[in-house]
Structures are given as C-alpha cells and as structure tokens.
Amino acid sequence: MMTKNIFLMMAAVFTLSASAQDAAWQNLFNGKNLKGWTKVNGSAEYKVVDKTIVGIAKTNSPNSFLATDKYYGDFILEFDFKVDQGMNSGVQFRSLSDKNYHNGHVYGYQFEIDPAEGAWTGGIYDEERRGWLYPMNDNPTGVKAFKKGEWNKARIEAIGSSIRTWVNGVPCVDLLDDTTLSGFIALQVHDIGNNEAMAGKTVSWRNIRILTEHLERFKTPDDTAIAQINTIPNSISERERRDGWRLLWDGKTTAGWRGAKLEAFPSKGWSIENGMLKVMKSGGGESANGGDIVTVKPYRNFILKVDFKITDGANSGVKYFVDPALNKGEGSAIGCEFQLLDDWRHPDAKLGVKGNRTLGSLYDLIPAPDNKPFRPGFFNTAMIVVKDNHVEHWLNGVKIIEYERNNQEWNALVAYSKYKDWPNFGNAAEGNILLQDHGDEVWFQNIKIKELP
C-alpha cells in the first residue's frame, strides 16, 4: 500500500511539473515569409533572411511598422532582437492605427530598443501619445542588460493593467496603466530623416512567440527589484500601499483640502469632473476667483506626485512649505513653487532670471532645463521630494532640479527674488501643500504622497 501511495505522489508531482512546462506558445512569425503581418505608415523595407525578420532603414520615411493582422489583449510575448549601432527601434504592443487620430499614425505602448550609451532599452514609451511612461533612469541594472551588437532576448508580460518587461532576464519595467487594453503588435524601423549614413542600417527579430492562455500560471513572480510606476488615475496599488503611499486627493470629494484663505473648500472656481480636479478659467488673475487650495494637514518630509494637464497658455503651480497665514491679502499664498506653465504661450516664461519661471522651475529661484520631458496636451507627472533641507523636482520620471535650503547660499538666492520680503522664506520645517488658482484652466489627478521619516 505504501509503495502505491508513493507511486501516486510521484505521478502527481510529475503531472504538475509537466503542466508547468506545457505553455501553449504560438509563433507569430513562421520563419519563411511575412504572412499575418502588414506594413503600416512608413516605407522602410522588411524582409525575411534565415528565419529572421530584418527591418532596413530608409531615408525620408516616417517611422515604419510591421504589424500583426491580429489584435492581442493579455499576453506574454517573447522575442530575440539585434540592432545596428546608431539605430533606434522598438516593438509596439496593444497599439492602434486610426485615420481619425494623427492621420493614422501608429500609437500605443512601445518596448524601446536603443543601442545608444545609457539608453533605455526595455523601457516603455507611448508612441504618438504620451511619451515616456517608464523611463529607466532609476534602473541602472536594467539599462546595462542590453548587449550591443549581439542578439538580446526580450519578454513582455501585459496582463490587465500590469505591464512588465525584461531584457536578457533582467527586469526593466513594472508599470500599471490601463489606457489601451488591446491592439496589434508591431516591429518598428525608426525614422532616420535624410541621413544617408544611416540608410541600410538594420534591426532584426526572430523567435517571436506569444502566450495568451493560463497567464497567471506562467507569469513571472512579483518582486520589488525595480520601482513600480502607477499611472492609473486616483489609485493606489497594493505595492504602493505597502511602501507607504496614500492618496492625497480621493478623486471624488474635497476631503482633506480647503481654501488657502478659507476655513472650507472654495464655493466657486474649482470643480470635480470624471475623477479630475479642475481649476476654472477666470481671466488669468492670481488667486482672484476661487483662490488657491491647500491640504488641511502640513507635511515635513515626503515624496509628492501630482498629475497635471495644462491648457494652452495656462499658468499654475504646486507649492509646498506653505504657511497659509503669511499672506491674507491679495494674491497667492506663499511657499516654494513647482511652476506649471505653458512655456511657449505664457509671457511669464520670458520673465524672471534665466528661465526660472518656466515649467518645472522652483519659481523665481532656480530654472529647470529647456529639454524637459513635457507632454503637451496630456497629463504629466510632477514629483517633489523633500528630505529635511534637500529638495528635488522631477517631471515625468526625470529629475530636473535639486537644491539645499536653510543655508547661506539659499538665503542669498531668496534675497534676490520676489520672496525677499517674506521672513525666513522656504526654511520652515513643515508646511501645507497647495494647488494654485492662477485664473487659467488646469486639471489635476492622481495626487498621492509618501511621508518620509
């Protein structure tokens, strides 16, 4: 009897082991021809050589894509890729082409392929839409996973709103985004303009296969090796919750906020629509309509994230270390400001000193660089990091300025700014967080905070 039980146990283990290996992979490329694929947009050439799809760059062609005829939603995708030095490429997924959107240009998620030094191969770029969703500046191990001049292995797991990527087995991306949940897969040959030296350069793909069944069984176990980015509006993921993040605005009510010069939330000038907090247009005056709003609670050390979308010509800001009691007269409440501005259309961008009133700047004090990763017409993420006297401004995952306060250099900087008459400006141990009413239409969502020790 014992022998029989042992045999049954071994058989069960063998069955489970076999089941774990029995993934129903489908080949997207038959190794012979391009059946099941269609070229979209540009005129770059795609051909089959030795069971490999080779994309060949062509001058004066826009981005070219070889797209699957079939759409895919949830999947695990694997492929090998190799790219010539100097080329830029990618693999689209959950992507679309609609004649009513950007003249039919392909748009959607892209697994980045870029052999440049320090480039973000494996990162997620939103083609023809929002730009970088998961830049890899905080993932140096992932950046180093790419092998120049060699075949590399990619893995993409797109399951529900979770998008994760690997290059040569190294984790690159952990993204939560639900903007598009189904679309085609496409192989990109990037536009090279009229650069004749790049003409004929190639990018190659092989062993392209996809899994669409029993994905929970075959997906890679969750880990915290890399940062998670959550772009789903007004949500906190389980991992964010464990890490100490919480919503600073619930996406539905005015709870936790009040007017900077009021005991309650303003009765005009602000609205809540479809999970977005909107400051309404009222002529461009500073705090002249509904007025600024501030958190009920002050904060000391924190990481703050605010998604914002500005209309053409708009001016606004996110302030911190705000003391609402400082300015009870006209104008905005006083505090350090992450400037929100349409640099191209608002005159304030040309005022101040050396661009210190442009988007992302510490307003009137420290300028942000000109080459900021801003996405016109879409939501952008402002992040402010405060740890005692060290402060950082980030825009869409890229650090754009940092500074130290409560020192001689800081006080000298303030002395030559519009804040010179406000005592001890920027040196308070804590303060409220503020969203500014500057009389222009601006939208906010996904406002979250992580308090630091």
Give the up-direction half-sphere exposure of residue 78: CA atoms within 13 A in the CB hemisphere: 15
pLDDT values of the chain reduced to their tens digit, one per residue, 453 residues: 444 444 444 444 333 343 446 789 999 999 999 999 999 999 999 999 999 999 999 999 999 999 999 999 999 999 999 999 999 999 999 999 999 998 899 999 999 999 998 899 999 999 999 999 999 988 999 999 999 999 999 999 999 999 999 999 999 999 999 999 999 999 999 999 999 999 999 999 999 999 999 999 999 999 899 999 999 999 999 999 999 999 999 999 999 999 999 999 999 999 999 999 999 999 878 888 999 999 999 999 999 999 999 999 999 999 999 999 888 778 889 999 999 999 999 999 999 999 999 999 999 999 999 999 999 999 999 999 999 999 999 999 899 999 999 999 999 999 999 999 998 999 999 999 999 999 999 999 999 999 999
Q: How far apart are CA 383 and CA 264, in angstroms?
A: 26
CB count within 10 Å of CB 155 equals 19
State residue 331's pLDDT score. Answer: 84
H helix or E strand, kind and range, residue 318: strand 315-322
Domains 24-230 and 249-451 share a fold: yes
- Per-residue pLDDT tens digits for 317-361: 999 999 998 887 788 899 999 999 999 999 999 999 999 999 999
The ranges assigned to domains in the chain are 24-230, 249-451
DSSP 72: B
- Neighbouring-strand partners of residue 352: none
Do 286 and 438 touch, CB atoms closer than 8 A?
Answer: yes
Q: Is 165 helix (H, G, I), strand (E, B) or coil?
A: strand
CATH 2.60.40.2470 fits 249-451, yes or no: no
CATH class of the domain at 24-230: mainly beta
